[in-house]
Structures are given as structure tokens and as C-alpha cells.
Structure 1
Amino acid sequence: MNTIEQLRWRYATKKFDTTRKLNDDQVAVLKEAFNLTALSFGLQPVKLVIVSDDAKRAELLPHAFDQKQVTEASHLLLFCIETVIDEEFIRCYFDKVKAVRNTSEEILKPYRDFLIADFNKKTSEEIEAWAKNQAYLALGNLLTVCAMEGIDACPMEGFMPEKFDNVLGLGHEGLKSVLIMPVGYRADDDIFSTMEKVRKEISESVIEIK
């Protein structure tokens, strides 16, 4: 499969085919790809919430400014951040490193202590901003994976996070929604699917220092 060809194929889908659904294997690929996203420090302060229930998505629709992709797509993906990222959160990550890699405490301690001290210096607003950046990284990764898998997607910031959180009870899970992305298959009559991409020339967007 040609990577550039697939990236040219993808676009922010405006109208989905409501008769076509992703199968379990495709959803499993998206979940695995999300979990494999390269994130800062490896801490994974993000979670993916997948909503396929039609009634629940209809309830969310007004809080996404009635953008029909929310209900017409096969699945709705929510990129969420942890509301509590503290010393215990960091220690849990290093406990997992120790368990998976059998890394010695002598090697782990300096880096763990550095991260704990660094995060202790940050305000809650700074930590939340950092976590949101990780959500964008995860979304970008899934956009590319969707393109490679022939899955249509539409990344969206235009929604009311607090309303979504209330409808889905995300606060009880210690989460805040940051981004949403409906996924599925484009409708045959989505005129945006045939439009040429508008991009700068590579010479304008890339600087090479040799």
C-alpha cells in the first residue's frame, strides 16, 4: 500500500454512509494503534472512549453543534485526558516498566525522581495543557492509521467537552474529553471526497538544513 497515496485519499469526512459499519477487527486495530501511540515520557495520560450506541450519540449531537458526523458515522471516538496526573500516576507507570522489562530500581530511580520533581513544579493548568498535547498526538496517529486501513475519519474540535463529559459520565472515570473523531465510511454523495487538497508546496512547508 502506498503511504502517500493513502494520505492523499483521506480527508475530513463530512458525510458518512450510515449503512456501513466498521467490523470488530477494524475497531481492534484502532484500539491497538491508539495504545501504541508515542507519547511524552511514555506516561499515557490519555484514554480513548468509543461510542457506537445510536441513542447515546443522538444525545451528544446537540453538544457537537448538530454536526451530523457524530450520529452518521459507524463509531464516535473521544480522546480524553486523565484529570489527576500526580506522583502516584508517575509511580504506577514506573512499576509497570519494572514489571514488563524487569528493569532494576537503580536504573529507574533517577528518571522517576526527576519526573516526579518536574511535575511537582508544574501548575495544574500546565499539566492539563501537556496532557491535551498528548491527545493531539494520539489523534494524529489514528488519522494516519485510518488512512492506511481505508477507514474514513473526521477530526473535530467543535464540540462542548463538559456537556459530553456529563452525558457519558466521564467525570466519574477521572476523565475530560478533549477531541472527537467520527470514523466509518464516506457517503457516495459527499462532495468533499472529490475535492483537491489545498496545501502549500513542499518547498514552502519544509526547510532542509544540510
Structure 2
Amino acid sequence: MDFLTLAQKRYTTKKYNADEKLSEDLINKLKSILQLSPSSINSQPWHFTFVSNPEIKEELANASYFNAPKVLDSSYTVVFSAIDDLDKFEKQIEANLPEGAVGYYKQFIKPLPEHEIKAWLQHQVYLSLGYFLSACASLGIDSTPMEGIEKDKYRQILKLEDYQPLFAVAIGKRDANDANQPELKPKSRLLVDQIITEL
């Protein structure tokens, strides 16, 4: 299936089939794809937590506002977090990146105020989200990106010391009666001419 067709068929799943679980093979493919996510200067300032444990999912659901049913019924909830310790991040890139990439960070990013540096790091994690959602579509996995979570509670539940959760993605197989399916509820998007300018 070509990518345009995948984009037309992919949608944000609202209701999951709790009885249908994703295979270990599919999950391993997703993990490998996430490892290959692009980021500025190959900074990779992220951590991904795959949660299928029912007890932990219950705790996360209680910190997920109206997204609780998706957390509970999906096969996995994947939590995307950005590194929150700037010293640890600098040591990481010094150990893993070429001199030019480290130099870029130290010259252009490090002099910024701390909140701007952390925003730059978080932007990289959002790049991985687009990559992940596309990967799910290519593998026939339904997905729901969720910013409606209590981030600090997620951090406590998952015992993330140096990383701050930003959002989560429920993944699994849709319920056949999910009313948000494109076949039942056509996608609503601005026209191409409204969002794209060609010069």
C-alpha cells in the first residue's frame, strides 16, 4: 500500500478491542523503528516506555483524563519522554556524537535559557511521534496520540528520574464499532491550497 493510501486510511482511534493484542513481533518492529527516529544533530534526547502491564495501565489511566478508556483497552500505551537533565544530555552527546554535532549544540543551543533548551529537546521527541504514527499505519496498527495526560503523575508512576513525559500513544486494534473510522466519519482537513504555497 502506498503512503498516500495509508494516510487516507489512518485515523485517531477512539475505541479499542481490548481482547485483541498486538504480537511481540510487531512490538519489536516498532521499537526498532523508534530507535531509528530522526532528530536534530542526531541528538536522540528521548526515552520510550512500552506499557502492557494491567496494573500500571490502570494507574496511568487514572492520570489520563478522558483518555482513560484508550489506555485501558489498547494493547500497549507507549509513553514518549524527553531528557530533563541537561548535564546528562551533554554527557550523552559527547559520548555518542561526532565533534561537529557536539560543537553545534554548545555554540547554538547551550547558550539559550534553560526553558528554551528543554523546548528544543522536546521538539525532537515530537519528530519521533510523526515517525511512530506512520510506522503504526504501515504495520496495520491502530493508534491514538494523547497529550491529555497528567505528566508529573506519569513520571512518578513510571519512575522516570531524568526524563519528563510529554505525551502517550495508545496502540492496538480498533473496536469494529469505533465511530471515528474514516468509513463512518470522513476526515476533516483544510484544502491543499489553504495550507500549501508553491513559489
- Normalising by structure 1, what TM-score? 0.87
Shift of 1:119: 3.3
For residues 112 and 47 of structure 1, what CA distance do their matches in structure 2 show?
A: 20
Q: Which runs of 5+ in 1 are unaligned?
A: 98-107
Would the alpha carbon gap of residues 92 and 169 (structure 1) be closer, same or farther in structure 2, given more than 3 Å must change?
closer
Report the number of matched residues: 196
Could you tell me how far apart the structure 2 residues matched to 1:4 and 1:36 are?
Answer: 22
Please say if residues 74 and 171 of structure 2, whose CA atoms lie closer than 8 Å, have aligned partners that are also in contact.
Answer: yes
Cα shift readout 1:87-120 (whole Å, capped 9, x = no counterpart): x6345434334xxxxxxxxxx4455334223333
**Structure 2 matches for 1:1-210, cutoff 5 A?**
1-67=1-67, 68-86=69-87, 89-97=89-97, 108-171=98-161, 174-193=162-181, 194-209=184-199
Unaligned runs of 5+ in 2: none
Is the alpha carbon distance of 1:180 and 1:207 closer, same or farther for their aligned partners in structure 2, counting shifts above 3 Å?
same
Identity %: 27
Find the aligned partners of 2:147 and 2:116 in 1 and give their Cα distance. Answer: 20
* RMSD, aligned CA: 1.6
- Secondary structure at 2:85 match in 1: coil
Stretch deviating more after TM superposition (131-140 or 108-117): 108-117
Give 1:71 shift. 0.7
CA contact (8 A) 2:93 2:102 kept: no
